[in-house]
Amino acid sequence: MIAVDRGRYTCLVEPAGERGRRRRKSQADGTGTGHRTVVAMKARELGRKGIVVGDRVALVGDVSGRPDTLARVVRVEPRTSMLRRSADDTDNTDGIERPVVANADQLVIVTALADPPPRPRMIDRMLVAAFDADIEPMLCLTKSDLAPPDELVALYAPLGVPYVVVQKGGDLDELRERVKDRISVLVGHSGVGKSTLVNALVPDANRAVSHVNAVTGRGRHTSTSAVALELPGGGWIIDTPGVRSFGLAHVSVETVLAGFPDLIEGTVHCPKGCTHLSEECALDAWVADDHADPARLESLRRLLASREGASDDDQARSAADPAPGLG
């Protein structure tokens, strides 16, 4: 399923004969030619079960894809991964967490090197979300014509996070290689250059998006929900709207910590069930002993604290300026 709008799910049906096999080569024009676009609604038997972009589904009814036809989604296949967000970090009272994208392999965290300036705490937050989703993260550092990547690279390369450095009109071979034959979700704040990237990677992106929107009756480009776009060289890019807050209320302390591999060793002397926020936490002494960058501990604590109802600046911002829904 590649797009959803007001209860209408746009699905691609692979041509007979290719079904069940992963397509190695996609069509040159990148719009999924060879696939049939079918619009479907949710069958009653699915009940409240959600369907999100990236889901593999079973369709019945009119699957011709002809205009004004409507198929039904009767089954959602088991997912290999699920990227989720809470509406914000503190809405854990009702446990609502919103699925964002299913079955992705890779989370591409798009960050500008300048204009807007990089925000490591947002990167940390996305790394935790990737870990929670069981998706491999990578950094895509944009606008390298405006500022050097050295500082950010020094911060994240030691954590084993792969990265590419790009600029508008520049060489994208390395990025292309990393997204080839994979399902990659692009996340990033407004203005970091995500659309510029998508347009460079998928020459028909605008046409593909307006095609999807025409099919779902949306009719024009809006960027309030995720859309999957096929890459000319194989694989898929799932473009999500500008992310201002990516709540992690549903994520456990252990999972948050997993996003900070450089700090894990320092927690062995923590008391059992340590929140890593109180005075008994062993991380303070460990960081004071030069085992890790104090800024990393501060970032971990801000993330953990924001889950408990305090606010870090991402949350303060999103409260003042609510982010569009992703799901």
Residues lying near Zn ion in the complex (CB under 5 A) are found at 270, 274, 276, 281
54 binds, among Zn ion, ligand GTP, none (CB under 5 to 8 A by kind): none
- Contact between 193 and ligand GTP by CB under 6 A: the answer reads yes
Bind-site residues for Zn(2+): 270, 274, 276, 281
310 binds, among Zn ion, ligand GTP, none (CB under 5 to 8 A by kind): none
Whole-number Å distance between alpha carbons of 155 and 140: 14
Which of 69, 117, 151, 168 forms a contact with ligand GTP (CB under 6 A)? 168
Q: For Zn ion, which is the closer residue by CB, 170 or 271? A: 271
Tokens of 256: 């948050």
Where are the alpha helices (H) located in the chain, listed in sequence order?
A: 120-133, 150-156, 173-179, 194-201, 205-216, 253-258, 261-264, 283-288, 294-307, 313-320
Whole-number Å distance between alpha carbons of 25 and 255: 36
- # residues near ligand GTP by CB under 6 A: 15
DSSP 313: H
User: For ligand GTP, what does the binding mask look like between residues 195 and 214, x meaning CB under 6 A?
Assistant: xx------------------
Bind-site residues: 142-145, 188-196, 270, 274, 276, 281
- Contact between 143 and ligand GTP by CB under 6 A: the answer reads yes
- Smallest distance, ligand GTP to C-beta of residue 13, A: 30
- Smallest distance, Zn ion to C-beta of residue 300, A: 10
Tokens of 162: 């792969």
Tokens of 77: 């296949």
- Contact between 145 and ligand GTP by CB under 6 A: the answer reads yes
- Smallest distance, ligand GTP to C-beta of residue 170, A: 7
- Contact between 311 and ligand GTP by CB under 6 A: the answer reads no
Q: How many C-beta neighbours within 10 Å does residue 282 have? A: 15
Whole-number Å distance between alpha carbons of 1 and 233: 20
- Contact between 301 and ligand GTP by CB under 6 A: the answer reads no
Tell me which residue of 1, 130, 132 sits closest to 54, measured CA to CA. Answer: 1
Whole-number Å distance between alpha carbons of 306 and 92: 12
Task: Report phi then psi at 57, rounded to 5.
Answer: -130, 160
Q: Which stretch binds ligand GTP (CB under 6 A): 17-25, 121-129, 137-145, 317-325?
A: 137-145
The shares of helix, strand and coil residues in the chain, as percent rounded to the nearest 5, are 30, 20, 50
- Contact between 172 and ligand GTP by CB under 6 A: the answer reads no
Whole-number Å distance between alpha carbons of 72 and 7: 11
Binding site for ligand GTP (CB under 6 A): 142-143, 145-146, 167-168, 188, 190-196, 242
